[in-house]
Amino acid sequence: STNQPIPTYDQDVVKAFARAFTGWTLGGQNQGNLAKFFHPDRNFRIPMEPWAAYHATDEKQLLDGVILPAGQSARTDLQQALDLIFNHPNAGPFFCRGLIQKLVTSNPSPGYVYRCGQAFANNGAGTRGDLKAVLRAVLLDYEARAASLDTRPDEGDLREPVVRVAGLLRTLDAKPRNGRWMFARSFDRAGKSTGQTPLHSPTVFNFFEPEYALPGEIAQSGLVSPEFQIATETTVVGAANLLKGVLGAGGPTSQLILNLAPFQSPQVANDDALLDRVNQLVFAGAMSDATRGILRGALADPAFPRQANPRVITLLWLASLAPESVVQK
């Protein structure tokens, strides 16, 4: 194929799969009332259920000419269609490329995708689709671990807003004061300004497209940058405000308990020691000299907070906005 993609399916196959998946709605409905199929009671805690009256029972030609016979139930069509997708040779590489993009780098090499695809096909014990084996292959591959690759311009990815917030909460060992994580409303409010609200993707294809390339140098280099699709002048500022709000939520009367002790112990009594700790816990040792100089200058500024908690929180906020924190390598 001279390194060009080969289509796996056409529009007719898409239509056939759509018919195979017909007849399902939210579970727990009264199937004697056909209107409930289109307007079901909203119960998302139980599995969806098939309704025979709304399932297309015609013959369906799917991938590679595989045919689902006419007259099958919705459940049988669904199971056979999913088995076909799962066992297709393209499933492993497709799934692994997506995982690599989310966890390691936006532009994995064909060899990296191939090696992980092999783990999907066989975990070493004859089992296909073992996610433990796949994750192990993704995270322990040479291209994921070699520090020498970090300087390449095509390595790494932009961390999406929700991942940045989660990373900050994990760094500070955050815990809910009342034992319940109640961040839905906070993220709902921030969704418009960050481009991302958990579990509220605008389409079934996520918040951004895996093939999106930021116009300019990235696109001209033949690279992709999926997360940049939601990174605009507005959302970059919105994400910064969200991070500041999360850090500010650690006050004595707030819903979060943030552990600032690692940044306030006697071992970090001076600015250089504090920056070393920030480098270790926030940047995983990747803080650049330029960023360190900026943060040191901020700490020395007379206007910078002097009280213990505000000082650390402001420093962590600035650190979370640095390129080495925003871009994962």
- Give per-residue pLDDT as tens, 59-102: 999 999 999 999 999 999 999 999 999 999 999 999 999 999 99
Q: How far apart are CA 279 and CA 294, in angstroms?
A: 13
**Among 85, 230, 93, 245, residue whose Cα is nearest residue 165:** 245
Length of the chain, in residues = 329
Orientation angle between helical segments 91-103 and 131-140, nearest 10 degrees: 50
> Residue 232 — φ and ψ, nearest 5°?
-120, 175
- Give per-residue pLDDT as tens, 285-314: 999 999 999 999 999 999 999 998 899 999
Cα distances (angstroms) measured from residue 279 to each of 14, 183, 313: 49, 27, 15
pTM of the model: 0.87
Label the pairing between strands 256-257 and 175-176.
Answer: antiparallel
In this model, does residue 323 exceed pLDDT 90? yes
Cβ neighbours of residue 97 under 8 Å, at least 6 residues apart?
A: 108, 113, 210
Q: How far apart are CA 166 and CA 257, in angstroms?
A: 14
> Residue 49 — φ and ψ, nearest 5°?
-130, 145
Stretch 124-142: mean pLDDT = 97
Give, as one character, the DSSP assignment of residue 259.
-
In this model, does residue 251 exceed pLDDT 70? no
- Give per-residue pLDDT as tens, 105-130: 999 999 999 999 999 999 999 999 99
CA R_g for the chain? 25
Q: Calculate ∠ Cα 192-195-198, nearest 5°.
A: 90
3-class DSSP state of 90 = coil
In this model, does residue 198 exceed pLDDT 90? no
